[in-house]
Each structure stands twice: as C-alpha cells, then as structure tokens.
Structure 1
Amino acid sequence: LLCGTLRPYQVSGMSWICRLYELGRNGILADEMGLGKTIQTIAAIAWLAERRQIWGPHLVVAPTSVVGNWVMEFQRWAPGLRVVAYTGSKKERAALRSGWTKPEHSDVVVTSYTLVLNDLAHLRRRRWVYLVVDEAHHIKNETSQAWRALMELPVLAKLLLTGTPFQNSLHELWSLLYFLSSSQEMRDRFTAEEWQAMTTPIADHAAAKRMIAGVHTLLRPYILRRLKSEVEQELPQKRYLIHVCPMSRMQRQLYTDFIAHHATRDKLQSRRPFSVIQCLAYLRQVCNHPYLITPPQPRSPVFLDFDAMPARSAMLERCFRIIDHTTAATAGTAAATAPPPPLVAFPTRDALLFDCGKLQVLAKLLARLRQTGHRCLIFTQMPRVLDLLELFLSASGYRYMRMDGSTPAAMRTTLVDGFNADPRFFCFILSTRSGGVGLNLTGADTVIFYDSDWNPAMDAQAQDRAHRIGQTREVTIYRLITAHSIEANILRKAEEKQRLSQLVIGAGHF
C-alpha cells in the first residue's frame, strides 16, 4: 500500500478478509461507519495480488454516489491495480467492455447497483474472484432485483460491507446471511420451528429475544464488527440533542383538520398499507413545512425576462414557480403581440419562518452555529424540503451546497471535496438516502436532521458522514421533532429498533 499506513485494527480487518478467502468462506465486514471499511478491503485485494498472485478480476458494487470515491481510493492506496469505473452511457459502457474477457483488461471493476441490473448479461461473462458489495443493506430483501441479480454473478468469494447489518428485522439480517451461503447450510443449523421464526418479520419482541443466542451463534463465523469507542480512541466524541419544535398556527390548522376529516379516518380504519402511508406522508409534510401542502401565492414586483437569459439557473427552476403573466402595457403595439415577461412566486424569508415552527427553530440554531464557527450538514427525507431550505439559506445570506438523488454522480465527488476544502461554505443540505452513505464530510462538525427516517440505521449512516476518521472536532447531532405530532411516534419506533439492534448485533461482541 502507498500513501498511508493502516491502523492496527485495520490490519486485523484486512487479515480477517484474507483468512476468509483462504478458508473458502464469505463474510460481512460490519465495522461502525467511519472506521475505513473501504481501505481494509483495498488492502486485502492488494495483499492477494502481491502475496498470492491473485490479481482478479474483482467486482465492487456500490451506490452510485460512492463509485467515484472507490476509484479514487484504489488509485491512492493501490495504484498498481488496474481499476475500471464501469459507468457512463450505454455506448460508453460498451466501449469499456472491449476486451472484457481478457485477463489484462482490468484487475478491479467498480460499478453501481443500477448498472448491475442493466448490464447483468455482460457482467456474467466474466468469472469474478471477489464480489465486494458496499452498503450491503441495499440487498436486505432476498426478493429484490438487486439481491437476485448479484446472486447470478459467477464469483469465487463474497464480501459484504455495511455499518448497519441490522436495520428493521431479523429477516433482513437473514437475507444477508442467505446471500453469503446456501439455503441448505442455513437449514442444517436450525430446526424447522427456528427457521420459521428467523425468517418471519418480528412481531413479538419477546419471541425475538429468545432467538438472540441462536443468532449470535449463527453470525459469529460470518461477521466482524468493531466500534469507534473500542478501536479509535483519538476520534472526537459525538453528542446528541433533540430540539422540540412548536407548530405554527397554519401547521396546527392543517394537521388538526386532516386528522378530523372523515376521509382520513376511513383510510386509517381500512388498514390498507398504501392508504395509511398516504396519511402519514401528509402529516410529515405538514410538520416539515405547510408550504409543501399549500404553496404560497405572493407575486414578485421584479420582472424577469427568462428568454433573455443564456440559461435558466437550476435554483430558479427549483425554487421559483411561474404563476402569472403581465398584460401588455399598450394594446395595438408590436410589444403587445410579444410574449409577456413572467412573474414569479418568491416567498420572503419572514413568510417562510412565520408559517413553520421547525424552520424557526432551525433559523435560531444556524445563527448560533455560524457565530461560534461551526459548519453543518442538514439532512431531510424530502427533496421539496431541500427547495425550501435553499430559499431560506439564500435569503439568510448563508453559502451552501446541495446534493440529492438528481445530482450527477460525476459532480458528487466535486461537491464533497469542495465543501471539505472551502470553509466559506457554511451548510451542506442533503437528502438522507442519497447523501447519507459512503461520503466523507469531515469539514462539518454539526449534523442536523430536519426530519427522521423510519429506519434509524439510515440516520446513523448519515450522521457518520461527519463523525469518522479525519474528524478533529467534537461532532454534535441535532434532531428536530415537531411537538405532539407523528414525528414523536417515528422517533419512539426508531428507538425500539435501535434497542433490538443492540441485542442482536451489539451484544454478540463480534
């Protein structure tokens, strides 16, 4: 390895991966987020090449947002390996496959889950030595397309990387183990009754606890997990704070009217999953900002001639909604026949704050953080909330960056590097699902969850974008919760899942 030295626990992790390979076993490297699972994997692949002359080919499958990071880390730590980023258009990928089956084509191919589904037939043409699945919770369901596609690949060994091996139920953990081994091996280790209990989503926590000892026995040959508190003593501490946010008058009116409406009661009583999800989504939108339900209709006094602009900016596209056109000032003139300039909706900062209690709390928090020299990441589940946050941050004079599912993969690395390197950027606003995995954002020392995920593992992944190796300051995690709302129930459910995760994974001391 070049350009760095592994920490002692990383050397141990690399040795564990190599030992699994030599024993013909698959495994899960489940170190807590931020401990360098990527580096340990690269070191193991480099060791196989140097010491065992096993150069590959290896296939690394990762979320789109971190494919570029994998390639960069390979180039930094093991430049002697020939690494191909299998991305781009259909034509570009076809060019990358030229000489696909020849050994000299590449040692490592890095691609995304999406492209595995699109190009499975081509990927099956090569026999891979190692299949490395990053953020392996993406295949927590054995009926998903990604799980089935990866199972079809011809590989000698499999390595799953995830900082959150347990998320919602034992069944999801079982899916990962089933991916690593044959169904017969699983069945041989448990009775029919135990098999049924293990492969059924948890409904009775007492029954689940009775299975914990068996789960630990089953996991131990397959999993290695270390926590930051155990192996990284120099990493700064992190602390958690919850801010309870009052509802504005507009929010309270929308919330109570919806709850009291007979149509809402009918949907909830029907117990149809889609109807219940619709109701919960509406309530969550009200908590985040009432403008997600009833957008304002202010009219700007400023006329913007979009046709005269070389290109309409992305921010204008997202945040300005064209709602009206002016009439020609003089009838019968040439100007009267031309398309009138558009008038755009532009909610003021005061209006944004007045109608949303949560945004009021966030505004005070950001002002205090700015004065004390902190930089922050703001996560939300909803892209439309990112639009409103952009309006608020711009009106407040804060410099920021944004990343969501629509951000091109090639731009994500540039945004991350730019934010870490330039302290003038105060905020990075991200969607939890797109920006919460695989990124290194140690330039920030504060994480704010504008809303919470039903799955606490997703929020845990997101907060560790800042709390990881390379962080030199204490990290503070703020969670905004709307008082007397569905968000309190979401938080309570998340805490239950975390306790169960501690029983299943933490208590096993893997």
Structure 2
Amino acid sequence: MARRGRPQTRARRSAPRDRRHTRPQGPTDVVSVLARASREVETTVRNGRITSTTRAKFQAVALLLREERARVRSDADSSEAKRSEQLKRLEGIATILATTAVRDAALMALLDEDAVVSDDARLLKRDLLTSAGIEPPPEEVRAPEPAAVENTHRVVPQSVVSRQLANPFLAPDFSAPRPPAPRATRLATWELLDPLLRSFERAAPGAPACMTLPDPLNRTTSTGLELMPHQAEVVTAAAAGHRTFLLADEPGLGKTAQALLAAEAADAYPLLVVVPNVVKTNWAREAALWTPRRTATVIHGNGETIDGFADIVVVNYEVLDRHVGWLGDFGLRGMVVDEAHFIKNKSSQRSQHVLSLSERIRARTPQPLLMALTGTPLINDIEDFLAIWQFLGWIDEKKPLPALMAALDDTGLTPADPGFYPAARQCVVDMGIVRRRKVDVAADIPARRIADLPVELDGPAGRSIRAAERDLARRMVARYESALAARRDGPEVDAVDGIDHELVHQVASWEQKDATSASSGDNVFTMMRLIGQAKAELAADYAAQLARSAGKVVFFAKHVDVMDAAEDLFTRQGVRFSSIRGEQSRTARQQNVDAFVEDPDVAIAVCSLTAAGVGLNLQVASDIVLAELSWTAAEQTQAIDRCHRIGQTEPVTAWRIIAAQTIDARIAELIDDKGNLAAQALDGAAPTEASSSTDVQHAALVALLTAALSRDPLDE
C-alpha cells in the first residue's frame, strides 16, 4: 500500500551546457527561486493587478512547489534535519500561495490538481527551473495549440465532435415550445426573496421541510437491488412527473442512488452530473451499479478520454469552465449538482457556470430533471439557499419564477399578512425540497455522538500558543482603545457604559480582514494551525490506541503538516495506514480508500478534512478522530458521515481533540452552536441563542477581545 500519492517524478537535473548555467545546483536554489517568485505574485495580487500573466506565474510556482516538496520527502541521501529545514521553507511558500489565492477565485482553482496547466505556466515553470540552474526536460516545453490561442478556457473533446458527425439524428432538438407567459399576479410589486428566506429562518418548531412524496410503487431495481423506502419515494415522484428536487437528506442516506434512479425514471438523458473532484470516480462506480444499462463517462482535464456517446456525463466543478460551451449544446435533459452548497457564492465562477447551464437546459428542454444534492444546504447563512433555488428554476436574481409565484399568489396572502411566512415556506417546500433524517427513515443506522477530549498543551509549544493568543488579544485591545479614543475626539457621540460591543465587532472584522491577507504574524488562522501542530501527536497516539482496541479508525486533519506528523507516529508505532489527501492523483486516492476498506491490516485512514470530507464511504470504521477543528459545523458533519451512513452496524463516535484553555475550546462551542442553522431552517428545531448567521472566525475574535477587555489588569 502506498503511503500517499506522489506527484510525477521530478525532472532529471543535468549539468549546465554553457556559462549561463554556472549557478550551483540543488534544492536550495529552487527554494530561493520559488520564494522570490511567490513574493512577486503576492505583491502583484495585493496591489490588485491580477492578469493572465500573474495567474500563469502563480500556477508555475504551485506546480514546481508540489514537485520540489515530493522530491525532498523522497530524498534518501539528505539528513532528516536537512529535509525538515527544506520542507519548512517550502511550507512557508505554500502558505504565501494559499493566502494569496483567497483574494481571487481563479487563483484558488489553479491550486486544484485537476486544473489544466496553461502553456504560459509551462513556459514560466521552465524559466524558474532555468533560474535555479536546472535544465528542464524537453517535454516541459510545448507549443501552444491553435485552439488554445483562440480560447484558452474552452475545449470541445474529439469524441463529442465525433458524436455530432456520426449521425445527424443525434443532434439535440432545441425547438421545444416556450412555456406560457407568467400570469398577472397581485404580488408582482412585492419584494419576495427576502420574505421567502425569512420564512425558513423563522420556521416554527416541527414545521415540515419535506414535500409530500408518493408511496413507493416498487423498491426493487431492474438489476435486483433493493432500495430503502425513503429512496424509492423520490424515484416514484420522478416517475410521476416531478422534475425539480432539492434533495437535502442527511448525509449517508443514499442520495447518489436516488438521483441516478430518478434520472432513469424520468428518462432524463443525456444527464450531466457536476460533482467535487474527489467523488468523480465514485459517481461512475455508482452509475455502473444502479443504472448498468446506461453508459457513464467522466471528464478529466480537457476531456480527451471521454465517451461522447455516453448517457451520463460526470464533471467536477474545477474543470466545468472548459466544457460549458459544448455541454450547453449537448441536448442535456437532466442535471444533477452534488454537494450543491459548493455553489452558494453566486459571484464565483463555478456557480455562474452551473447557473448558466441550468438556464440553457430549462430554456431548451421541456420539463428537464434538475436535482441539487446536499446534506448540508446551509453552511453560513440562510442566503445559501438562493443559488440552489436559482439552479432549480424556482427563482431568478430578483423574484420567484412563474411556478413558485403562482403558488404564492394562490395563498391569497402578502408579506404584510401574519400568515404569509408559514404559507410561503410550504410553497417553497412543495416545489421539491426533500429532507429526511436518519433517525426517521433509517432506524437501523446506529446512533452517533461527538465526544470532546480536552488535552493540555505543555512544554514550549503550549507556552508559545498561549503567548500568541495573549499577543493577539493585546493587539485587538490596543486597536479597540485607539478607535475608542478617536471616537471621543471626533464628533459628539452617545457614550457607552462598559464595553462598546458594536466597536468590539468592528475591531474583530478588521482583524479578520487582516488575517486573510497577511502572510506572517499571529492571527486566528496561524494560531489554529499552531494548535493543530501541537495536538498532532497527541491525537495520533489516541487514534493508534483506538485502532488497537476497537478496530479501524478514521483520522481527520485540516493541514498537511498535521497529517504528516500523524503518519510519522503511526510508522514509528508500526500501525499500518492509508493516506487520503488532496495532492494525490485520482488513482492513488482510490487505491488508498480501497486499501483501508478491504485490507484488515490497514488500521487507520489519515484523511484531509477538505479532500476526504465528502463523497467517500468509510463505514468499515465506527471511530473517528478529529485532530483539528473545522470552521463550520457542516464540514464537521460531512466528515463524521463518511462513517455514519447506510450500512453502518456500530454506533459511531467522533472524538474531537480540543486544546484546553485556548481559543480551540471556544471555537468548538461556536461550531456546536452554529450547527443549529440547518436544524432550525429545515428540520423545524427550536432556535438556540446563537445567531444562525454567526461567522465562527468572527465570533471567536469577538469572544477573545471581550474576555480581554473584561479581564482585570492585575490578572495579566
């Protein structure tokens, strides 16, 4: 079993051919070149000058960084101390790239392993290698293709062209009659989107959040597989003519099978399935299992290997931009968006592509099947609903579309009427929201629980973290006092007794904004990373103990260095493990998943919280160790539900490792409070004291500053 997937082997270094290549060769030169280039990109982006050249240079640095990190790790000739020093420097460059990427969605997409390497990036990477005294191999240089010159981002796979030429009768028919014009409605002058959102935010306890579904006609598929009753209900609804679904079942209730069989019942082919990168292969497997008579193809990169005649086309969000052109003309009759909360930011490129494809399908196809799948539709705010509703064709940018508008009109109410909100909520639910909980529809799934394990961080690491937290608090206090003094010296304002909580929130917002752009210094992000590093071996040791006593364990972490530290400890203790992380190829990731699931001697799966938190089935384990905290309850829930799902026979326990007496403990409380959002909006749970829109990072900073302002100076 491979410990982890490795990038491609590093280019062979050759001797310099002339006087221009007389620099000393070695990893130090590469690191220096990367550090300088990353700083140049950071400065350019910070100044707001993000051009195609900037993006190409960013990608070239990211590619070379990935290769150099893999080379250093596998360099058996270097001492452990030298490798550690080199990796530390490379990690610093990775941090610069990550903090730079948060400023631009296109830069973030370039960090994905499936991102197409532009010709400019290839050439710039070659220049970087040359600057480091390394001659790139010939295959690094590639002349731009004619198509790429015309449009760098759009491609048409050859197999799609072959489909278009093979048979003119395969050409899609776009002559479908237009839907009738919307009827006149008395609500036309009302602002309705905000009241619709508020109708979910103010839902009464016990309010239904699932459309009425028909009794299943048949629970056995054509291939003899048995569906659970709740799965068969959705398939039956699709067979009866319902065509839009927000399938928001709790994670682990088999949404993939429901979507594939609903498409079969609706004859919604060709079907486009848009998914996160980590689950592309799994969707193809599931399609072969549930709908074996339908051919499925997966788009990788530019799509050179896809089957243009397939019934089901699976594509990940990161490469969708290259394929929206031909997909829009492919004659799609159905579209499924998996992990639909990925499109919650409507200004992002991937959301815009998903929404534009949905609009084209609805304009050209009578009654297409549109399904948004997510067990966690609300991540931060009730507004997360908007993009999903727009994808489904229930609303546009400004108002409900005709079907929903007609339903609202039929209530006879307006937003000024007290009964409007529950009635409006029901109208939206009836459009196609399907939400079932495990406790209600899968009683045979054992219970799950989250158990917190506080750990004391002793020694230099613990002292350093507590000192960093005090320094952060002092910096915010100084900022608060400076702002308060400026207020007093300015125009007359009402005095505030005690702590000015409005100003506290403002200072927290300033600090949060600075933290996302700073590449050094102590902030809430670096502190959480330091805490994760300090907890790494403690969490890993506990996971090893669990594996010896209770069987297979899934170990989740956010940062690569925490995963590395855990894997080093497992290696020293002789515990076999699989590693599932974002830097791996699809093949390597699947091999490591299979090894954990199928090999009884592989005791632990070391998983990236972001790369392995969705789409994987790891139910062979019933114990999960969360070495680092997520920033959202939804991400934490997704991770736990890799094990707590249909087919699990044991109670599932997630062991959260919490650093006592640090900001880590406060963030754990905030995550738990914030987990109430979906429960309140969809499950009719009673609201808690925490605001549903509270941002965990912001709230943690507010709590830290408030505590510092409340503290007696003598306690310092």
**TM-score, structure 1 as length reference:** 0.74
Matched, 1:177 2:392: no
Matched, 1:459 2:633: no
Contact 1:288 1:451 (C-alpha < 8 Å) held by counterparts: yes
Structure 2 vs 1, CA of residues 77 and 501 (structure 1 numbering), >3 Å: closer, same or farther?
closer
What is the match of residue 221 of structure 1? 431
> Aligned to 2:642, what secondary structure does the other structure show?
coil
**2:257 pairs with 39, 43, 46, which one?**
39
> 1:462-488: per-residue Cα shift (whole Å, max 9, x none)?
111111112222211111111121212
| Unpaired segments ≥5 residues, structure 1 | 49-53, 196-209, 290-355
Contact 1:245 1:361 (C-alpha < 8 Å) held by counterparts: no
Q: Hey, what's the Cα distance between the residues in 2 that align with 1:85 and 1:148?
A: 21
Deviation at 1:179, TM superposition (A): 2.4
Q: Report the AA paired with residue 506 of structure 1.
A: D
Matched, 1:427 2:631: no
Q: Hey, what's the Cα distance between the residues in 1 that align with 2:658 and 2:426?
A: 35
Deviation at 1:415, TM superposition (A): 2.0
Q: Which one has the largest radius of gyration?
A: 2
> Aligned to 1:128, what secondary structure does the other structure show?
coil
> 1:284-325: per-residue Cα shift (whole Å, max 9, x none)?
122112xxxxxxxxxxxxxxxxxxxxxxxxxxxxxxxxxxxx
Deviation at 1:273, TM superposition (A): 3.2
Matched, 1:63 2:276: yes
Structure 2 vs 1, CA of residues 420 and 3 (structure 1 numbering), >3 Å: closer, same or farther?
farther
Q: Report the AA paired with residue 41 of structure 1.
A: A
**2:248 pairs with 6, 25, 30, which one?**
30
What is the match of residue 353 of structure 1? none
> Aligned to 2:611, what secondary structure does the other structure show?
helix
**TM-score, structure 2 as length reference:** 0.54
Aligned residues: 408
Structure 2 vs 1, CA of residues 505 and 127 (structure 1 numbering), >3 Å: closer, same or farther?
same
Q: Hey, what's the Cα distance between the residues in 1 that align with 2:685 and 2:429?
A: 9
**1:244 pairs with 440, 454, 457, which one?**
454
Q: Hey, what's the Cα distance between the residues in 1 that align with 2:460 and 2:258?
A: 52
Q: Report the AA paired with residue 334 of structure 2.
A: Y
Q: Hey, what's the Cα distance between the residues in 2 that align with 1:236 and 1:15?
A: 27
Structure 2 vs 1, CA of residues 16 and 392 (structure 1 numbering), >3 Å: closer, same or farther?
same
What is the match of residue 302 of structure 1? none
Deviation at 1:259, TM superposition (A): 3.4
What is the match of residue 86 of structure 1? 299
Structure 2 vs 1, CA of residues 80 and 44 (structure 1 numbering), >3 Å: closer, same or farther?
same
Kindly report the root-mean-square deviation, in angstroms, between the aligned alpha carbons of the 2 structures: 2.6
What is the match of residue 122 of structure 1? 326
Contact 1:116 1:149 (C-alpha < 8 Å) held by counterparts: yes
Q: Report the AA paired with residue 79 of structure 1.
A: P
**2:547 pairs with 370, 384, 402, which one?**
370
Contact 2:452 2:655 (C-alpha < 8 Å) held by counterparts: yes
What is the match of residue 530 of structure 2? 286
Contact 1:84 1:108 (C-alpha < 8 Å) held by counterparts: yes
Return 125-134 or 403-412, whichever deviates more.
403-412
What is the match of residue 8 of structure 1? 229
Contact 1:237 1:474 (C-alpha < 8 Å) held by counterparts: yes
What is the match of residue 480 of structure 1? 657
Structure 2 vs 1, CA of residues 211 and 481 (structure 1 numbering), >3 Å: closer, same or farther?
farther
Q: Hey, what's the Cα distance between the residues in 2 that align with 1:218 and 1:12?
A: 19
More strand by share: 1
**1:142 pairs with 316, 341, 346, which one?**
346
Q: Hey, what's the Cα distance between the residues in 1 that align with 2:354 and 2:234?
A: 24
> 1:399-420: per-residue Cα shift (whole Å, max 9, x none)?
0011111111233222222211
Q: Hey, what's the Cα distance between the residues in 2 that align with 1:428 and 1:95?
A: 31
Q: What is the aligned-residue identity percentage?
A: 26
How do residues 337-486 of structure 1 correspond to structure 2 at under 5 angstroms?
356=534, 359-360=537-538, 362-363=540-541, 365-486=542-663
Deviation at 1:84, TM superposition (A): 1.3
**2:512 pairs with 257, 269, 273, which one?**
273
Q: Hey, what's the Cα distance between the residues in 1 that align with 2:508 and 2:679?
A: 34
> 1:141-186: per-residue Cα shift (whole Å, max 9, x none)?
1111111001121323311011111221101122211322232316
Deviation at 1:357, TM superposition (A): 5.3
